[in-house]
Structure 1
Amino acid sequence: MTDSSAAGGRSSSLMDNLLGLLRIRVKRGVNLAVRDVCSSDPYVVIKMAKQTVYDHDTFTKDDKMGDAEFDIKDYVDALRMNLKDLPSGTIIRRVQPSRQNCLVEESCITWNEGKLVQDLCLRLRNVECGEVEIQLQWIDLPGSKGL
């Protein structure tokens, strides 16, 4: 499983006028499906709008271990608030699990040591079991004035 990944740039009007990087850190997989004899060697592929987990195989095609989707709209909306100097641990917004997302539980967008952070636990779909814990964090580019 990868330790961290960063995605940046503009893909739609949602990200317009944002100058920086969205870091997506894969924290861990929980109760992942077994795809080899007694374990798996999972890794994650992150795409705009999709996150997918695979088992790496040396001699055969890698096995898909599920997929999950999450929406960054609430996180981006919180970024656009241009928050400053809040106490660490301040909850900015709560995102509830619903039929439109793969959240296992409520996800909080939190001000943490001067950064806006969102921790998510995603239930994998199209597989018998498994969850992936990720964290979103915005990184301003040096010299930028933010939003």
Structure 2
Amino acid sequence: MENLLGLLRIHVHRGVNLAIRDVRSSDPYVIVRMGKQKLKTRVVKRNLNPEWNEDLTLSVADPNLPIKLSVYDKDTFTLDDKMGDAEFDIKPFLEAVKMRLENLPSGTIITRVKPSRENCLAEESCIIWANGKVVQNMFLRLRNVERGEVELQLQWVDIPGSRGLHM
């Protein structure tokens, strides 16, 4: 843990227009992975537009590792069905955090990340200064599935005594 840079709080807000994996609906949950870490949201029953509103916190030691997100349909008697996956890069976000911006008006856009073939963004993602913190809102388009998006917000948490982002 001596290489810890800090914590990344991922607010898993909601899923939009997710795929049907049961008879008429799905029971979706999200798994977030970074390196060996794996975190999971609760299951929302019978909902293709679930609101998880859950915070998952990852310890960040290597900013080059992508964060992988998978959506699954919870099944009782069989293996849970995959409902798509996405991944995103936290480097642009960490660059914005490293700027150590202070005294900006809340809502100021620091950086915009455009959707591209290399990322899973469904629309432009803005990294903004909000209430004294750098946050990034993103809509991720799920891959390997017919449809669906997941809305997230990233927020950085500095840990006293960690290496921090002063590179």
The TM-score normalised by the length of structure 1 is 0.84
Q: Does 1:41 align with 2:41?
A: no
Which residues of 2 match residues 84-123 of structure 1 at below 5 A? 84-123=102-141
Please list every run of at least 4 consecutive aligned residues from structure 1 whose deviation after the TM superposition is greater than 3 angstroms. Answer: 142-147
Native 8 Å contact 2:4 2:163 kept in 1: no
Provide Cα deviations, 1:43-97, integer angstroms capped at 9, x if missing partner.
0110122111000001110000000111111001111111111110010000000
Residues in 1 aligned to 2:120 and 2:94: alpha-carbon distance in whole angstroms: 18
Instruction: Name 1:130's counterpart in structure 2.
Output: 148
Q: CA deviation at 1:141?
A: 2.6
Change (3 A) 1:86 1:144: farther
Residues in 1 aligned to 2:100 and 2:8: alpha-carbon distance in whole angstroms: 16
Instruction: Name 1:32's counterpart in structure 2.
Output: 18
Q: Does 1:64 align with 2:82?
A: yes
Provide Cα deviations, 1:15-58, integer angstroms capped at 9, x if missing partner.
x673x310011100000001111111100110122111000001
What secondary structure, in the 3-state scheme, does the structure 2 residue paired with 1:69 have? Answer: strand
Change (3 A) 1:145 1:115: farther
More displaced 10-residue stretch of structure 1: 109-118 or 43-52: 43-52
Question: Once superposed, what is the RMSD of the aligned Cα atoms?
Answer: 1.9
What secondary structure, in the 3-state scheme, does the structure 1 residue paired with 2:88 have? Answer: coil
What percent of counterpart residues are identical?
A: 69
Tell me which amino acid in the other structure corresponds to 2:30: V
The TM-score normalised by the length of structure 2 is 0.74
Q: CA deviation at 1:145?
A: 9.1
Native 8 Å contact 2:73 2:80 kept in 1: yes
How many matched pairs? 133
Instruction: Name 2:41's counterpart in structure 1.
Output: none
Provide Cα deviations, 1:79-131, integer angstroms capped at 9, x if missing partner.
11111111100100000000000101100000000010000001100001100
Unpaired stretches in structure 2, ≥5 consecutive residues: 35-65
